[in-house]
Chains A and B, each alone.
Chain A
Amino acid sequence: MKAALELIGKYILLMKMVFSRPEKARIFWKQFFIDAERLVLDSIPIVAVISIFIGGVIVIQTAYNIENPFIPKMYVGYMARESLVLEFCSTMIALILAGKVGSNISSEIGSMRITEQIDAMEMMGINSSSYLILPKLAATSLFNPLLMLMSFMLGLVGGGLIVIITGVVTFYDYTTGLQYAFRGYYIFYSMVKMSIFSFIITSVSAFYGYYASGGSLGVGKSSTKAIVVSSVSILVANLIITQLMLN
């Protein structure tokens, strides 16, 4: 318990350092675009593939679960849309990004720590935590919500493809369902979630990397920890945000 509190305190102090005394704006923006490309753009393929497949699977599962003839067939489209926007495209995708992006960030920063590259920056008088972490935080928190939107649309497309291929329901029923009782607020809710999850992934992974020690073995360990801790934090945050925003 004491150890956990200490860890949280250390994390908060690091975040304070990240947001104080940022380096020159020009240097920040340059790094921001590099990070946006590496952390967000490069995640598009995996997110796209997963979203299309999951959209398809949700449609099949919903269709076979609605056996009651009194429930209209368009419910398949409706259900697909709701599960995609409410949970899948934010929480599930965030958990996948925690693995992909989180391990990338923590191992990169961790190896800079153990090879004294971070010390070298500090020695020059550079705020290394701000230089290394702030652009990554900004890039992922700003752009990952767009990744969530893309995932949502591709999930619907995946569902549509399955409808066309298998004919579980008619395409007309499916698209009618997609438009049924549509609430734009859910999309907003999901984008907010994604932004917060991204902040968690990036900051937690950067934290474990920044304080890595014990050679390359230590870097490996800290990236495993980064993934576990950010995944659990995402689940907890999901609960809290949902309670706050959908109540």
Chain B
Amino acid sequence: MIRTVNLSKKFGDLNVLNNISIDFKPGNCSLIIGASGSGKTVLLKSIVGLHEPDEGEVWYNDSLYNQLDFKKKKEIRKEIGMLFQGGALFDFATVEENVMFPMNFFTQWSREEKLERVNFCLKRVNLINANKLYPNEISGGMQKRVGIARAIALNPKYLFCDEPNSGLDPTTAILIDQLIYEITKEYNITTIVNTHDMNSVMEIGDQVGFIHKGHLVWEGDKNNILSSDNKELNNFVFASNMAKRMRDMMSEHKQ
């Protein structure tokens, strides 16, 4: 369980996050949606502690995370897996070494044990026979898979994904979404996914929060998204002409 209470973050004079209070439940794939620049990445990074929030609280279960000292924070960080927007794979390391990286730091496993875990994780994300390749030798979709494999390497309790399917073709995007969803359910992880992709929302959103200019303006179940009367949310959801046409057709159909 992760909870933010009145979380605010400024960069200079720019209020990027304003009083965000939201809960994320274990075993749930919670989606943060919003337009580009609305503050999704900053919210995620504030929750994991890569940004220091100016005001408010971030709770991981019973720990007030943003007030912990480095050592205690580190303990929680070991339980967090994060998939970055660009993959953030270490380009000096092979696929295998990337997934093994956190194990080198935080386990006393032998090389065989580590390799076994690496291969398990890579298999889980359906990536085989790529162990010895470098990040610049594999496709964007494969990079995301490696990113997920690395994120789950140490059995995280929490999984954060920043725009996991940006830059991917629609088919691959759905596969990556589903992978994140399955892993969440399989290991009962508290998962938070940033996205601006409505497909993802419909596919994997157990719970949805919509951010507009740094404010959490709507929160709820994905099934209520289409019928919401929140103006900003409507503009976001029905941004494309196709979506608007479908909405109009649907309402004509009802009448």
The chain A residues found within 8 Å of chain B, CB to CB, are 21, 23-24, 27, 111-112, 115-117, 119-120, 122-126
**Quick check: is B169 within 8 A (CB to CB) of the other chain?**
no
- Interface flags for B31-75 (1: CB within 8 Å of A; 0: not) read 000000000000001001010000000000000000000100111
Contact assessment for A23 and B88 in the assembled complex, using a CB-CB cutoff below 8 Å: no
A116 in contact with B105 given A21-B70, A125-B78 (CB within 8 Å): no
A-B pair count, CB < 8 Å, reads 50
**Quick check: is B172 within 8 A (CB to CB) of the other chain?**
no
Contact assessment for A120 and B82 in the assembled complex, using a CB-CB cutoff below 8 Å: yes
* B residues less than 8 Å from A125 (CB atoms): 73-75, 77-78, 105-106
Contact assessment for B91 and A123 in the assembled complex, using a CB-CB cutoff below 8 Å: no
* B residues less than 8 Å from A117 (CB atoms): 88-91
Chain B min CB distance to A3 (Å): 15
Q: Pick the contact of B88: A21, A24, A27, A115 (CB < 8 A).
A: A115
A122 in contact with B88 given A23-B105, A24-B105 (CB within 8 Å): no
**Quick check: is B199 within 8 A (CB to CB) of the other chain?**
no
Contact assessment for B74 and A120 in the assembled complex, using a CB-CB cutoff below 8 Å: no
Chain B min CB distance to A238 (Å): 34
Contact assessment for B78 and A124 in the assembled complex, using a CB-CB cutoff below 8 Å: yes
A27 in contact with B105 given A119-B88, A123-B50 (CB within 8 Å): yes
Q: Pick the contact of B77: A21, A27, A115, A124 (CB < 8 A).
A: A124
**Quick check: is B218 within 8 A (CB to CB) of the other chain?**
no
Interface centre among A112, A117, A119, A125, by most chain B C-beta atoms within 10 angstroms, is A125
A-B contact pairs, 28 of them (CB 8 A): A21-B70, A23-B105, A24-B105, A27-B105, A111-B91, A112-B91, A115-B86, A115-B88, A115-B91, A116-B84, A116-B85, A116-B86, A117-B88, A117-B89, A119-B45, A119-B88, A122-B50, A122-B77, A123-B48, A123-B50, A123-B77, A124-B77, A124-B78, A124-B105, A125-B73, A125-B74, A125-B78, A126-B102
* B residues less than 8 Å from A27 (CB atoms): 104-105
| Chain A, residue nearest B84 (CB) | A116
**Quick check: is B122 within 8 A (CB to CB) of the other chain?**
no
A119 in contact with B84 given A27-B105, A124-B101 (CB within 8 Å): yes
* B residues less than 8 Å from A124 (CB atoms): 77-78, 101-102, 105-106
What total of chain B residues lie within 8 Å of the partner, measured CB to CB? 23
A123 in contact with B82 given A21-B70, A23-B105, A27-B105 (CB within 8 Å): yes
Contact assessment for B80 and A123 in the assembled complex, using a CB-CB cutoff below 8 Å: yes
| Chain B, residue nearest A108 (CB) | B92
Contact assessment for B88 and A116 in the assembled complex, using a CB-CB cutoff below 8 Å: yes
A126 in contact with B105 given A117-B90, A119-B88 (CB within 8 Å): yes
A120 in contact with B105 given A21-B70, A125-B77, A125-B78 (CB within 8 Å): no
Chain A min CB distance to B73 (Å): 8
| Chain A, residue nearest B82 (CB) | A123
* B residues less than 8 Å from A120 (CB atoms): 82, 84, 88, 90
* B residues less than 8 Å from A23 (CB atoms): 105
Chain A min CB distance to B66 (Å): 15
* A residues less than 8 Å from B86 (CB atoms): 115-116
Interface centre among A112, A116, A119, A126, by most chain B C-beta atoms within 10 angstroms, is A116
| Chain B, residue nearest A23 (CB) | B105
Chain B min CB distance to A206 (Å): 15
* A residues less than 8 Å from B73 (CB atoms): 125
Chain B min CB distance to A21 (Å): 7
Chain A min CB distance to B108 (Å): 10
